[in-house]
């Protein structure tokens, strides 16, 4: 298998429409929202200097159909390919099932397995969304507490990053405030669908930063 092109990187704009992407040999495979199939084929071919016939773009439903029909080329590409982008762990789950020989049998059986994988992925995403919500809310609450202690009021979350900058070296360290602002601004970008939900590793990082910020605010009281 050839190594993935090191220049192959997805922009934040691309990630709004793409569910997964992987490379196998000289071909790129991408799963996206249905209405973007045609435009993304042209875009990827031009952007990454790849022949159109080597850019395979479709929907998750297309992939399900190919596996149900035992398309060996597609199955091998998932099993042996190199993931480029897999935020929902679709490729990870499929690869494990293919390696265990679980993606064989009747069409109905394979479809049931696919639906179980999709349900599992949806549940993981819901957990991550709830975690991000909790991190954001706790950071907002702590920020408002800090501002009130210093005689400031910020009822609208979007203005909190501006207000808490005034507290640098006035009860809070610069690093504490940078952590809070990063969490708030990233959440707002996600809330307005300008970025995708951050990966689990990033959420863990935010959780630690939120805890440090809350501890810093407690020391002000």
Supply the pLDDT for residue 65: 79
Q: Based on the domain organization, do 132 and 100 belong to the same domain?
A: no
Percent of the chain with pLDDT over 90: 20
C-alpha radius of gyration, the chain, whole number: 22
Supply the pLDDT for residue 41: 77
Q: Based on the domain organization, do 65 and 134 belong to the same domain?
A: no
Q: Based on the domain organization, do 141 and 185 belong to the same domain?
A: yes
Highest mean pLDDT, choosing among 30-34, 102-106, 191-195: 191-195
Contact 7, 77 (CB under 8 A): no
Supply the pLDDT for residue 2: 37
User: Which residue range(s) make up the domain with 159?
Assistant: 124-218
**Which helix H or strand E contains 82, and what residues bound it?**
strand 82-85
DSSP 81: S
Question: From CA 42, how far away is CA 26, in angstroms rounded?
Answer: 17
Q: Does some domain include residue 198?
A: yes
Question: From CA 119, how far away is CA 131, in angstroms rounded?
Answer: 19
* CATH classification of the domain holding 79: 3.30.460
- Output 219 or 39, whichever has higher pLDDT: 219
How many Cβ atoms are within 10 Å of 115's Cβ, its own excluded? Answer: 11
Tokens of 109: 């059986």
46: left (phi over 0), alpha (psi -120 to 50) or beta: alpha
Among 74, 104, 134, the domain boundary falls at 104
Instruction: Read off the pLDDT band of 90 (50, 70, 90).
Output: confident
Q: Based on the domain organization, do 83 and 128 belong to the same domain?
A: no
Tokens of 53: 């016939």
Q: How much is the mean pLDDT over the chain?
A: 81
pLDDT tens readout for residues 126-170 = 888 999 999 999 999 999 998 888 888 776 888 888 888 888 888
Query: Of 128, 158, 135, 133, which Cα lies nearest the Cα of 209?
Result: 135
pLDDT tens readout for residues 170-181 = 888 999 999 999
Answer whether residue 112 shows pLDDT above 80: no
Percent of the chain with pLDDT over 70: 83
Please state which of the ranges 13-22, 79-88, 122-131, 207-216 shows the lowest mean pLDDT: 13-22
pLDDT tens readout for residues 30-55 = 888 776 677 777 777 777 777 888 88
């Amino acid at each position: 298998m050839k190594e993935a092109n090191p220049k192959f990187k997805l922009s934040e704009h691309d990630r709004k429409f793409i569910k997964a992407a992987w490379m196998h040999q000289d071909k790129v495979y991408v799963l996206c929202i249905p209405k973007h199939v045609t435009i993304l084929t042209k875009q990827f071919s031009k952007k990454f200097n790849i022949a159109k016939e080597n850019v395979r773009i479709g929907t998750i439903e297309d992939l399900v159909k190919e596996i149900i029909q035992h398309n060996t080329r597609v199955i091998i590409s998932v099993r042996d390919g190199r993931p480029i982008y897999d935020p929902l762990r679709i490729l990870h789950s499929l690869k494990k099932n293919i390696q265990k020989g679980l993606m064989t049998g009747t069409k109905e059986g394979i479809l049931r397995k696919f639906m179980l994988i999709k349900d599992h992925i949806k549940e993981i995403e819901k957990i991550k969304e709830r975690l991000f919500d909790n991190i954001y809310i706790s950071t907002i609450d702590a920020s408002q507490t800090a501002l009130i202690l210093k005689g400031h009021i910020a009822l609208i979350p979007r203005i909190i990053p501006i207000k808490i900058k005034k507290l640098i070296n006035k009860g809070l360290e610069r690093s504490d405030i940078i952590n809070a602002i990063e969490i708030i601004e990233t959440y707002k970008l996600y809330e307005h669908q300008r970025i995708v939900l951050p990966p689990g590793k990033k959420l863990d990082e935010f959780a630690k930063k939120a805890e440090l910020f809350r501890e810093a605010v407690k020391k002000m009281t």
